[in-house]
Amino acid sequence: MSAQLVGGLLPQPVMPPSPFELAAEGESAIRVERAMTSLSPPYREILMLCAVEGMSPKEAAEVLGISGELAHQRLARARAMIEDALGDLARYAGGTP
């Protein structure tokens, strides 16, 4: 077996995050939390059910007692509001412009 093949099969070492990366992650989490809490309850509910709990808009509509169409509208508006609130963070989710 060649060294190249063996090297390709070995797991890559995991580098711990730098202090800068940890601080950036903490700041991002704070910004997301603030953006979520700034939403009015109907938008926060649909976003939490779909984005956090993993429900489909149809499932969330059933939980909330609203139509599927209204659930889709609220979800789209909630996502747009979050994107506006996060600004550059939402556009560069990976941290790279």
Q: Is residue 19 part of a domain?
A: no
Task: Quote the CA–CA distance of 51 and 65 in Å, as a whole number.
Answer: 18
Q: Which domain holds residue 78?
A: 34-97
Q: Is residue 3 part of a domain?
A: no
Query: How confident is the model over 36-50, as pLDDT tens digits?
Result: 999 999 999 999 999
Q: Is residue 82 part of a domain?
A: yes
Which CATH number do you get for residue 71? 1.10.10.10
Categorize the per-residue pLDDT at 96 as very low, low, confident or very high, splitting at 50, 70 and 90: very low
pTM assigned to the model:
0.65
| Tally of domains within the chain | 1
Q: Is residue 11 part of a domain?
A: no
